[in-house]
Amino acid sequence: MTSRILVVDDEKDLVNLVRYNLEKNGLQVESAYNGSSVLPLVESFEPNLIILDLMLPDRSGYDICRDLKGNPATRHIPIIMLTARSSEYNRVTGFECGVEDYVIKPFSPKELVLRVKAMLARTSGFRPGEVEGKRIVLGRLKIYPDEFRVLVNDQDVPLTHTEFKILMALASQPNRVKTREQMLETVWQEEAESVMDRTVDAQVKRLRAKLGPARDMVETVRGLGYRITTQSAASEPSPASQQSPEDSHSEAASAPVTSPN
């Protein structure tokens, strides 16, 4: 099936250039020139990926991204943001909003096509509704890889593709430290060289915030990276049974449980 790409930018010449290069590579393209058109087009066109300009005449790309990532029906759609703003602050803000990739104007159309193809390859396995009956259980945290679904205390947690892949990278080997370099290679793959360490930190911060009561399961190991610990996976202990801070950082012996859905 041909992948569908929604291109959102108020510069019509740029949209036409992007459309030409994407269609030349066998992709189906729809376009929008303002923010108000995005949500109706997402509903009708059902894109596999969105290329979104940061500075639109009526709405910020950040706000549109937050709307899409906050909606369970659209949060799975990867977003590549286009912008002339190249500062680290703008990049980090974009990633904190849920953007999967960031392309600076002016850009090479060939490079953009390659990024689109890499993103589609990374995310094509995470489509809602494909259930194969497996899950990872870490106390209050349940992960359904084939459904792109995460539950904390049996409540759905909406994650972006990148956040989900970070969680999977950690949960697949609980209590083991993943360095930032390993996270970049696992999550961003071919694009790892163009992604900053700060991006990993921003995505982990956003993931923690979304996990709520389970946020302390994702630990920072100073000078190394991150790990997910099963020590905090069980229900909250009573005050009398809580461990000391030193004990709380010891590695637990339990492993993730793989069981039928």
* CATH code of residue 43: 3.40.50.2300
Q: 210 and 144 in one domain? A: yes
What are the phi and psi torsion angles at 201 (to 5°)?
-60, -40
Say if residue 212 is in the same domain as residue 150: yes
CATH number at residue 165: 1.10.10.10
Structural domain count, the chain: 2
Check if the beta carbon of residue 25 is closer than 8 Å to that of residue 2.
no
How far apart, in Å, do the first and last CA atoms of the chain sit? 29
Residues 20 and 98 in one domain: yes
Distance CA 256, CA 49 (A): 32
Give the model's pLDDT for residue 259: 42
Q: What pLDDT is stored for residue 51 in this prediction?
A: 96
pLDDT at residue 190, as a whole number? 62
Q: What is the pLDDT of residue 14?
A: 94
The answer to whether position 129 is within a domain reads no
- Same domain? 10 vs 37: yes
Residues 187 and 107 placed together within one structural domain of the fold: no
pLDDT at 140: 85
pLDDT of residue 19: 95
Q: What is the pLDDT of residues 237-255, one digit of tens each?
A: 333 333 433 343 333 333 4
Which of 96, 123, 150 lies at the terminal end of a domain, its last residue? 123
Q: Is 71 left (phi over 0), alpha (psi -120 to 50) or beta?
A: beta
Distance of alpha carbon 7 from alpha carbon 192, whole angstroms: 24
Question: What's the predicted TM-score (pTM) here?
Answer: 0.55
Q: Domain for residue 128, yes or no?
A: no
Using the structure block, give the residue that is written with the tokens 């759609």.
77
Residues paired with 156 in a beta bridge: 151
Residue 37: which domain range?
A: 4-123
Q: Which residues in the chain come in under a pLDDT of 70?
A: 1, 124-134, 190-197, 231-261
What is the reported pLDDT for 248? 38
- Whether residue 116 sits in one domain with residue 194: no
Determine the Cα–Cα distance for residues 193 and 175; give it in Å rounded to an integer: 26
State the Cα–Cα distance between residues 205 and 147, nearest whole angstrom. Answer: 23
Q: Contact 167/219 with Cβ under 8 angstroms?
A: no
pLDDT value, residue 167: 92
